[in-house]
Amino acid sequence: MTRRLRALAAALALAATAFAATGCGGDAASADASTSGKVTLTIGDQAKSLQTLLNASGVLKGTSYKVKWAEFEGAAPLFQALQAGAADTSYAADLPTLQAQSGGVPVKGVAALHNDGSAVGIVVQKNSAVKSVADLKGKKVVVSSAKGSIAEYLLANALQQAGLKYSDVTVQYLLPTDAQAAFTAGKIDAWATFGVYKAVAVQQGGRQIIDGTDGRVSGYGFIGASDKALADAGRKAAIKDFLVRLDKALTWSGTHQAAYAQAIEKASGAKAAVAQLIVKQSYGQLVPITPAVTKAVQEVADTMHGIKVLDPNVQVADSVDTSLFK
């Protein structure tokens, strides 16, 4: 990877928001040293996405509990940490959360995040012969990042809508930063990706053939909580309070987009244009997990189970706790 691409990759790391990737863990930091000796809530995060938002909005001031952050590049290691007891909560898109639950991670969704799905897309090279999803038949498609990402669901659903089978394409999995470098170098023709990775690919000359709007992805992500944390009265109360504060932070982000973008620039070293794209494509709402939410996400589970990406399947309504955020 060239120096320029490495710098770009560092900036793009913050874009691993709700559309989960994979990566490595980081250290934890206290949000309020004055709360030492009280309940500690360890919040699982991806690429400092939540931490940047919550710190910029100031909503964590005055908590009655101590906050620690468990930082990861993406969802897979975050859920590994949660399973090991190194995090109390998770933050991921619908399919990575389903993958974790299918794999036996003791986590329940406690609140849903929502956006319009536009941050997920399939991009091809500017001069590619691929003009539509139907043209992907017989082609190799790179998916970022691991098996069971939100980008893979878009690919599976889009192929189905185009009358194709998942086996009609050859899927290769690559981490987003590796795929970004390969796409920029022209070594990838078709790439299912998300967030700023997608936006930068288009900015650099790629052509988007489809995105996740119009119901092609559910648009939902989840804040999850480990069964162990939910069984602890103190931490459960802290999670409930944290959700209220996160809701306020997301509201703040919608009315203070410039300040939020500046916070992202400071936290990640991203350029202003990249930070603005992150703000535009981030989750904008925290919503209760209603039957409508579980129905939409169950369609994701059933689709991915049908192509053997999610096995065993997950019954979404049985994998949530709706008592904490209403």
pLDDT, tens digit, 9 for 90 and up, residues 95-119? 999 999 999 999 999 999 999 898 8
pLDDT, tens digit, 9 for 90 and up, residues 149-206? 889 999 999 999 999 999 999 999 998 889 999 999 999 999 999 887 888 888 889 9
14: helix, strand or coil = helix
pLDDT, tens digit, 9 for 90 and up, residues 252-282? 999 999 999 999 999 888 778 878 888 887 8
Q: How far apart are CA 59 and CA 33, in angstroms?
A: 15
**pLDDT the model gives residue 37:** 62
Torsion of CA 74, 76, 80, 86, to 10 degrees: 10
**Confidence bin at 145 (pLDDT 50/70/90):** confident
DSSP assignment of 92-106: EEHHHHHHHHHTT--
pLDDT, tens digit, 9 for 90 and up, residues 10-48? 444 444 433 333 333 333 344 444 444 689 999 999 888
Average pLDDT, integer, range 298-322: 96
pLDDT, tens digit, 9 for 90 and up, residues 38-94? 899 999 998 889 999 999 999 999 999 999 999 987 788 899 999 999 999 999 999
